[in-house]
């Protein structure tokens, strides 16, 4: 053993002195390292701003950003804008999820529909959808509708493709069980296809919700006078760089909240799955 | 005396499975594959019949046709006196007498072991409390009590297969169809499962049709062995295994057991 430490890999014997400090702590380590790393980055940022004497119009210090962010969360107007962004994201995501899942199930089950729609799905995947935003503004105006639609369109495709994949990757052996049990079409859908595809669908949701926020914000950049995207552009035009940072922080926090909500949904709906947590 | 009486009783009872000129073609019109040529076969009530043969002999095809998973190209198939197929449709009353166990346990990973076992009862609309009682009884029967709330991935291969057998028994079918049920298990677990299956067979009075490619498993388990030969699949011979039950693992060391195994092995080499 001592003269050949690589033996451990072949005999399957653990090498405790080398890996033990990580064992059993994998879940807790990020809770320590993440704030630590964040603090280090903020410290670097702070000292860079101090030492370089860079103009606060280009890069404000963390202190200025923090105080602007506190102003932001105390302002009713800012919460109204945040609310509009959340609204556009959620409504867009809702329609994307509904249409994406239903169409995905149909495409996966009906062969001719898949053959007909597949070229279009591939084509629309390739089109940079954000580039269509001006068109949506022309069609649906500067109001909330165009934001909802941009959010929905962006969220739609990952949900659709994941649903198709999920329904298609149902285990043939599981199907045999249901066939042998003489299950009805509805029972097969409800008891086999849906739960089987659920991890895939929720992964689609996870990607989709983040894209929906991007869609809503980009929609707000281009038109109208509502939403965090609009607030960001407004701050830019007023050279209020530290307020831009504050808005960015606000957007990121909303993004985190959505992403973790889907994570929570996973824990609730697919506790049996490896990605569904304990 | 008792044995003679039982044997005569068995012969007199009508078969639980009757195949008449069952034939199966696969593939396209241009390149048809003859999977099984016209086959007649009866399985008696309370019989353990083993389908044995080299790969490509159509033994799994035959079993899946009996289980109603694939339709025969031609011929007639009846389960406990009822036609399995009529006008191209599977008949649900015939299916109710069949329970299937596959090589993989095929448990649904999103259901607890208990819910997996009672899934057939749920599909048939039984109430939740009645299902739970039934599932607990079945788990006791197959020896996995205490694992009710576990996920399938938390169980070993052998335990998962026990759960799959419990699931197939849940609605009390007269016939159990098993497609290489222990083929994915290690040798030790496999021996244990063979004994377990024999115990279930003796206590539940089911008729069992089991597919295997293990000659020793076939001889150990079977009342009769149907030896199939390939291209196209057809019955080569039917061997009656004379050993009394319950059989023990020591039986496998006896000269009589060995000679049956040897005879089958020679024949298998000739036909495959």
Reported pTM: 0.78
Please give the mean pLDDT across all residues of chain A: 85
Q: Is the same domain home to B255 and B179?
A: yes
Q: Tell me the CATH number for domain A64-276.
A: 1.10.3720.10
Measured between alpha carbons, how far is A142 from A137 in angstroms, rounded to an integer?
A: 6
Distance between CA atoms of residues A25 and B32, nearest Å: 60
**Tokens matching residue B174:** 């007269």
Last residue of a domain, one of B157, B172, B187: B172
Q: Please report, for the domain that includes residue B262, its CATH number.
A: 3.40.50.300
Rounded to the nearest integer, the mean pLDDT of chain B is 84
Has residue B117 been placed in a domain?
yes
Q: Which helix (H) or strand (E) holds A260?
A: helix A241-269
Question: Tokens for A153?
Answer: 């369109």
Pair B140, B185 in one domain: no
A66 contacts: CB under 8 Å, gap ≥ 6: none
| Residue A144 to residue B159: CA distance in whole angstroms | 56
Say how far residue B100 (Cα) sits from the centre of its chain. Answer: 7
* Whether A177 and B106 lie within 8 Å, measured CB to CB: yes
- Tens-digit pLDDT profile for residues A205-249: 999 999 999 999 999 988 778 888 999 998 888 888 888 999 999
Gap between the Cα atoms of B49 and B82, Å rounded? 20
Angle at B243 between CA B241 and CA B245, to 5 degrees: 120
Rg (Cα) of chain B, in Å, rounded?
19
In total, the C-beta contacts within 8 angstroms joining chain A to chain B are 53
User: For B186-225, how does the pLDDT look when each residue is reduced to its tens digit (9 = 90+)?
Assistant: 888 888 888 888 888 888 888 999 999 889 899 988 889 9
Number of Cβ within a 10 Å radius of residue B58: 27
Q: Are residues B196 and B146 in the same domain?
A: no
Query: Do the Cβ atoms of A270 and B110 come within 8 Å?
Result: yes
Residue B91 lies in a domain: yes
Interval A150-165: pLDDT, tens: 999 999 999 999 999 9
Q: Which residue of B has its CA nearest to A188?
A: B123
Of B110, A216, A220, A110, nearest to A208 by C-alpha is A216
Contacts with A, B 122-161, CB within 8 Å: 122-123, 151, 153
pLDDT < 50: residue spans in chain A? 1-16, 277-278
Give the model's pLDDT for residue A93. Answer: 96
Kindly determine whether residue B100 and residue A187, on different chains, have CB atoms separated by under 8 Å.
no
Same domain, B66 and B137: no
Same domain, B139 and B266: no
Q: Which of A174, A195, A273 sits opposite B106 (nearest CB)?
A: A174
Tell me, yes or no, whether B20 lies in a domain.
Answer: yes
pLDDT tens profile B35-56: 777 778 888 888 899 999 887 7
Is B38 domain-assigned?
yes
Nearest CA in chain A to B111: A272
The answer on B189 and B146 residing in a single domain is: no
Within this chain, do residues B258 and B205 fall inside the same structural domain, yes or no?
Answer: yes
- B7 within a domain of the structure (yes/no): no
Paired with B177 in beta bridges are: B100, B209
d(CA B176, CA B197): 11
Name the A residues in 193-212 with CB < 8 Å from any B CB: 195-196, 198
Closest Cα partner for A230 from A158, A140, A137, A109?
A: A137
pLDDT of residue A20: 66
H helices present in B106-186, as ranges? 113-117, 119-123, 128-142, 157-169
Domain membership of residue B140 (yes or no) is yes
* Domain membership of residue B55 as a residue range: 14-97+174-271
- CA nearest B47: which of B219, B206, B178? B206
């Amino acid at each position: 053993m001592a003269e050949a430490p690589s033996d451990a890999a072949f005999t399957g014997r653990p090498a405790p002195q080398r890996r033990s400090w990580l064992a059993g702590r994998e879940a807790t380590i990020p809770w320590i390292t993440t704030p630590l790393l964040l603090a280090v980055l903020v410290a670097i940022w702070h000292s860079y701003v101090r030492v370089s004497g860079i103009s606060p119009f280009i890069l404000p210090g963390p202190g200025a950003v923090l105080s602007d962010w506190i102003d932001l969360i105390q302002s009713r107007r800012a919460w109204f804008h945040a609310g509009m962004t959340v609204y556009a994201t959620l409504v867009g995501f809702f329609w994307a999820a509904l249409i994406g899942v239903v169409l995905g199930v149909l495409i996966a089950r009906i062969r001719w529909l898949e053959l007909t729609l597949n070229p279009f799905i591939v084509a629309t995947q390739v089109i940079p959808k954000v580039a269509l935003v001006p068109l949506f503004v022309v069609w649906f105006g500067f109001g909330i509708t165009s934001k909802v639609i941009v959010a929905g369109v962006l969220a739609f495709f990952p949900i659709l493709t994941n649903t198709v994949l999920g329904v298609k990757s149902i285990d043939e052996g599981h199907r045999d069980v249901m066939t042998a049990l003489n299950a009805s079409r509805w029972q097969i859908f409800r008891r086999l296809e849906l739960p089987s595809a659920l991890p895939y669908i929720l992964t689609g949701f996870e990607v989709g919700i983040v894209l929906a926020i991007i869609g809503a914000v980009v929609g707000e950049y281009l038109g109208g006078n509502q939403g965090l995207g609009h607030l960001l552009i407004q701050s830019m035009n007023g050279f209020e760089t530290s307020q831009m940072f504050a808005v960015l922080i606000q957007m990121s926090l909303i993004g985190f909240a959505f992403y973790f909500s889907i994570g929570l949904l996973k824990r609730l709906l697919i506790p049996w799955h490896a990605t569904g947590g304990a | 005396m008792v044995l003679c009486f039982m044997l005569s009783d068995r012969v007199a009872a009508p078969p639980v499975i009757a195949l008449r000129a069952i034939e199966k073609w696969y593939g396209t019109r241009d390149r048809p594959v003859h999977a099984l040529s016209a086959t007649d076969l009866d399985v008696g009530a309370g019989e353990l019949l083993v389908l044995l043969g080299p790969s490509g002999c159509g033994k799994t095809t035959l079993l899946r046709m009996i289980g109603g998973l694939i339709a025969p190209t031609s011929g007639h198939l009846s389960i406990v006196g009822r036609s399995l197929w009529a006008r191209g449709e599977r008949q649900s009353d015939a299916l109710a007498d069949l329970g299937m166990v596959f090589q993989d346990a095929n448990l649904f990973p999103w259901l607890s072991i208990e819910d997996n076992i009672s899934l057939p009862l749920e599909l048939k609309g039984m109430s939740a409390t009645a299902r739970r009682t039934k599932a607990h009884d079945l788990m006791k029967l197959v020896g996995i009590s205490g694992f009710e709330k576990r996920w399938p991935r938390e169980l070993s291969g052998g335990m998962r297969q026990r759960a799959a057998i419990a699931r197939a028994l849940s609605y009390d079918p007269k016939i159990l169809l098993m497609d290489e049920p222990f083929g994915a298990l290690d040798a030790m677990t496999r021996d244990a499962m063979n004994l377990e299956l024999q115990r279930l067979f003796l206590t539940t009075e089911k008729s069992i049709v089991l597919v295997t490619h293990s000659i020793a498993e076939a001889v150990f388990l079977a009342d009769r062995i149907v030896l199939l030969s390939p291209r196209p699949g057809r019955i080569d011979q039917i061997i009656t295994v004379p050993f009394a039950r319950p059989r023990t693992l020591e039986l496998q060391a006896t000269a009589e057991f060995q000679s049956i195994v040897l005879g089958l092995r020679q024949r298998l080499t000739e036909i495959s």
